[in-house]
Amino acid sequence: MFTIADLRQRGLILFEAISGSRAYGTNLPHSDTDLKGVFILPETEFYGLDYVPQVANETNDEVFYELRRFVELLLKSNPTVLELLGTPADCVVFRHPLFEEFRAEDFLSKLCRQSFAEYAIAQIRKARGLNKKINHPEPPARKSVLDFCYVTVGAGAQPVATWLVRQHYTAAQCGLSNVRNLTDLYALFVDATDDQHHGYRGLVREVETSQDVQLSAIPKGETPVTYLNFNRNGYSTYCRVYREYHDWVAKRNAERYQNTVQHGRNYDAKNMLHVFRLLRMAEEIAITGQLHVRRPDREFLLQIRRGEFTYEQLIAEAETLVERVEAAFAASSLPEAPNKQRAEQLLLQVRQTWYAK
> What's residue 244's pLDDT?
83
> What's residue 132's pLDDT?
55
The answer to whether residues 274 and 320 belong to one domain is yes
Predicted confidence band at 13 (pLDDT cuts at 50, 70, 90)? very high
Centroid of chain to Cα 91:
29
Domain membership of residue 38 (yes or no) is yes
> What's residue 246's pLDDT?
78
135-156 residue pLDDT tens:
556 677 789 999 999 999 988 9
Count how many domains the chain has.
3
Most confidently modeled range among 81-85, 133-137, 255-259, 318-322? 81-85
Asked if residue 100 lies in contact with residue 15, where contact means CB atoms within 8 angstroms, the answer is no
The candidate with the shortest Cα–Cα distance to 283, out of 331, 342, 233, is 331
The answer to whether residues 50 and 195 belong to one domain is no
157-185 residue pLDDT tens:
999 999 999 999 999 999 999 999 999 99
Provide the 8-state DSSP code for 86: T
Residue 56 has pLDDT above 70, yes or no: yes
Q: Quickly list H helices, 157-231.
A: 160-167
The answer to whether residues 125 and 265 belong to one domain is yes
The residue ranking higher by pLDDT, 252 or 312, is: 312
Distance CA 37, CA 14 (A): 8
Residue 270 has pLDDT above 90, yes or no: no
> What's residue 243's pLDDT?
87
Domain membership of residue 245 (yes or no) is no
227-268 residue pLDDT tens:
999 999 999 999 988 888 778 777 665 555 555 544 555 677
Model confidence pTM above 0.75: no
The candidate with the shortest Cα–Cα distance to 279, out of 73, 159, 127, 105, is 127
Domain membership of residue 76 (yes or no) is yes
> What's residue 128's pLDDT?
58
Most confidently modeled range among 43-47, 119-123, 158-162, 259-263? 158-162
The answer to whether residues 216 and 281 belong to one domain is no
The answer to whether residues 263 and 124 belong to one domain is yes
184-204 residue pLDDT tens:
999 999 998 888 888 899 999
The answer to whether residues 129 and 269 belong to one domain is yes
Average per-residue pLDDT for the chain = 89
Stretch 25-46: mean pLDDT = 91
The answer to whether residues 288 and 329 belong to one domain is yes
The answer to whether residues 72 and 19 belong to one domain is yes
Domain membership of residue 242 (yes or no) is no
Q: Quickly list H helices, the chain.
A: 4-9, 21-24, 43-47, 67-75, 79-85, 111-112, 119-135, 160-167, 232-251, 254-262, 269-288, 298-305, 311-331, 340-356
The candidate with the shortest Cα–Cα distance to 12, out of 60, 58, 65, is 65
Domain membership of residue 237 (yes or no) is no
Domain membership of residue 241 (yes or no) is no
Domain that includes residue 200, residue range: 145-232
The answer to whether residues 19 and 80 belong to one domain is yes
Residue 226 has pLDDT above 90, yes or no: yes
Domain membership of residue 243 (yes or no) is no
Predicted confidence band at 224 (pLDDT cuts at 50, 70, 90)? very high
Residue 1 has pLDDT above 60, yes or no: yes
Return the CATH number at 14: 3.30.460
The answer to whether residues 128 and 259 belong to one domain is yes
Domain membership of residue 316 (yes or no) is yes
The residue ranking higher by pLDDT, 21 or 260, is: 21
> What's residue 28's pLDDT?
86
The answer to whether residues 128 and 174 belong to one domain is no
Phi first, then psi, for residue 340 (nearest 5°) are -65, -40
Stretch 280-293: mean pLDDT = 96
The answer to whether residues 81 and 215 belong to one domain is no
Distance CA 339, CA 350 (A): 17
